[in-house]
Structure 1
Amino acid sequence: MHLIKNTEFGGERPLFASHDLQLDNVTIHAGESALKECSNIVAVNCRFEGKYPFWHVNGFTVKNCLFTEGARAALWYSQNLVMTDTRVEAPKMFREMEGIRLENVQLPDAQETLWHCRNVQLENVQVDHADYLFMHSENIRIDHYAQNGNYSFQYCKNVEIRHAVINSKDAFWNTENVTVYDSEINGEYLGWHSRNLRLVNCKISGTQPLCYAHNLVMENCTMDDDCNLAFEYTSVEATIQGFIHSVKNPRTGHITAESFGQVILDEHIKAPGDCKLTLWDTHTCFDD
């Protein structure tokens, strides 16, 4: 592997079509496509300031690096990335990629990041300003994760999340096969139009959660007082520890809680309209 160390590059495509290359303490200044069409690249202690440095790259490791705001859209159309101990200040990262592993990574401006990506692993990752994160991505595994940003995980498939705090309006819309364990999810309109969303040991807050969902499962979850008008037109199997503020027209299934506030079952309920609401202590239907 060829080593380039303690130097700087700028302009257009300075390392275009490089292969088997290690960069150590290298700065990529303003310009475009510094490492386009490359393979087997290792970047350690590097600083990226120019746009689109890693496009169409197959096999690369990024360790202890910085992507400044100017390095927007830095990693697109690439495969087999391992990124560790790195700070990414640029938005619109990771598009149309296959095989991404991020560990100990900070993304303080993660707007429109991780779109159309497959086979993604995140561990100890913090993302902020993360509106429209993870659009149309699939096969995602996340552990020890913190997120601030709305409209996340829309249209995603095959997702597993553990030990996370997710602050996101409209999270998990139109998703399929998503499981979240031991996490906190805060935001309005959670999980609308989802299929096979499973929440285990999770704390939920935000108005009108989990409506229009198909095959929703909740195990040993809690719902804050602002979780009103929940489960409208949803098929659900749920065990809730504590109080549910209000439930509106669940379509079918079974919800068990310690107590219910307002229960709305009106002429607009959709068939089969047979969801059972049961109290923990009595094991009898709430409407008995």
Structure 2
Amino acid sequence: MELVENKTFDQERALYGTRDLLVRHCQFDGPADGESALKECRDITVQDCFFNLRYPFWHDHNLTIAGCELTPLCRAALWYTEHAEIRDSKLHGIKAVRECGDIKISRCDILSPEFGWSTRGMQMEDTHVESEYFMMRSDHVYLDKVDFKGKYSFQYVQDMVIEHCVLDTKDAFWHAQNVIVRNSVVKGEYLAWYSDNVTFENCLIQGTQPLCYCTNLKLVNCRMGGCDLAFERSQVEATLSESPASIRNPLSGTITIPAETEVIRDIPGADGEIRVQAAE
């Protein structure tokens, strides 16, 4: 593997199309303001580098990024890239990952609106994220110990598992399909509207009007004390360890709650069953 070390690059396509390369302690910055430094590369490892220019990692294969900083000026950093691992790095440019496949991210700090769109096979752990429209239209996603903040997350996602996360969001999981959220905190209004086959297990859910217009919705041992007007027009099977302030017009299924709460039925067909079963 060829080594490139302690250099500064600012020209267009500085290392375009290279193979079997280790780039270490380099800076991609300067007055030439060149784009696409490592485009169309294969079998590349980048360590302890600084990226302040646009579009560095497009159409790459077998990429490792470790200990790097991608600044807000490093826009759209990874697009159309396959088989990449990113660890111990800062991704602070808008649209940092899009239309990629088989991406592993760990111990990173991500400040990136519109991150992760249309990505297939994302694994992320021990990472802080701030983003809007995070992971939209992505599939086969796994998050573990992710601290997330931002609006409109996980819309139109499919085949996703989330564990041990804190999600501070709104309008999350709209139109999502085949999602499991376990042992997590989910804060934010209008959660998971129009979703199908979404399951929450052992979660704390907070926010107004959650889980409306859902089909095949399931909740297992969840707390919803910070919610109101839940389950409107949803098909739901739920066992709750903490009741929401109110439930509105569930269409079908059974919602088991530990204490009485307000139940609003003001439309035809709101036939979901509410059972009160005190915790033993």
* Global fold match (TM > 0.5): yes
AA in 2 matched with 1:149: G
- Whether the aligned pair in 2 keeps the contact of 1:233 and 1:269 (CA below 8 Å) is no
**CA shift in 2, pair 1:152/1:269, >3 Å:** farther
- Whether the aligned pair in 2 keeps the contact of 1:18 and 1:38 (CA below 8 Å) is yes
- 1:230 corresponding residue in structure 2: 230
- 2:219 corresponding residue in structure 1: 218
* Structure 1: 5+ residue stretches without partners: 284-288
**CA shift in 2, pair 1:269/1:26, >3 Å:** farther
1:114 corresponds to 2:111: no
Q: TM-score of the superposition, structure 2-length normalised?
A: 0.97
Among 80, 85, 89, which residue is 2:88 paired with? 85
Q: Measure the CA separation in 2 of the matches of 1:82 and 1:281.
A: 48
Q: Measure the CA separation in 2 of the matches of 1:75 and 1:181.
A: 29
CA deviations 1:227-265 (Å, max 9, x no partner) are 111101100010111222111110100001112322111
Among 265, 275, 281, which residue is 2:272 paired with? 275
CA deviations 1:72-95 (Å, max 9, x no partner) are 101101100001111111111111
- 2:99 corresponding residue in structure 1: 96
* Structure 2: 5+ residue stretches without partners: none
- 2:247 corresponding residue in structure 1: 247
Q: Measure the CA separation in 2 of the matches of 1:281 and 1:177.
A: 30
- Whether the aligned pair in 1 keeps the contact of 2:258 and 2:279 (CA below 8 Å) is no
Q: Measure the CA separation in 1 of the matches of 2:60 and 2:74.
A: 16
**CA shift in 2, pair 1:269/1:2, >3 Å:** farther
AA in 1 matched with 2:234: T
1:74 corresponds to 2:71: no
AA in 1 matched with 2:70: F
Matches within 5 A, 1:166-177: 166-177=167-178
SS in 2 for 1:131: coil
- 1:26 corresponding residue in structure 2: 26
AA in 1 matched with 2:238: A
Q: Measure the CA separation in 2 of the matches of 1:179 and 1:136.
A: 16
- Whether the aligned pair in 1 keeps the contact of 2:225 and 2:242 (CA below 8 Å) is no
Deviation, 1:31, is 1.8
Q: Measure the CA separation in 1 of the matches of 2:78 and 2:145.
A: 23
SS in 2 for 1:112: coil
Question: How many residue pairs are counted as aligned between the two chains?
Answer: 277
- Whether the aligned pair in 1 keeps the contact of 2:104 and 2:123 (CA below 8 Å) is yes
SS in 1 for 2:212: coil
Q: Which runs of 4+ in 1 moved over 6 A?
A: none
Q: Measure the CA separation in 1 of the matches of 2:105 and 2:143.
A: 10
C-alpha RMSD over aligned residues: 1.3
With 150-159 and 26-35 compared, the bigger mean Cα shift is at 26-35
Matches within 5 A, 1:255-274: 255-266=255-266, 268-270=267-269, 273-274=270-271
- 1:36 corresponding residue in structure 2: 39
- Whether the aligned pair in 1 keeps the contact of 2:241 and 2:279 (CA below 8 Å) is no
SS in 2 for 1:70: coil
- 2:144 corresponding residue in structure 1: 143
Deviation, 1:11, is 1.9
- 1:14 corresponding residue in structure 2: 14
Deviation, 1:282, is 9.5
Q: Measure the CA separation in 1 of the matches of 2:236 and 2:158.
A: 19
Q: Measure the CA separation in 2 of the matches of 1:282 and 1:196.
A: 27
Deviation, 1:184, is 0.3
**CA shift in 2, pair 1:242/1:117, >3 Å:** same
Q: Measure the CA separation in 1 of the matches of 2:203 and 2:112.
A: 24
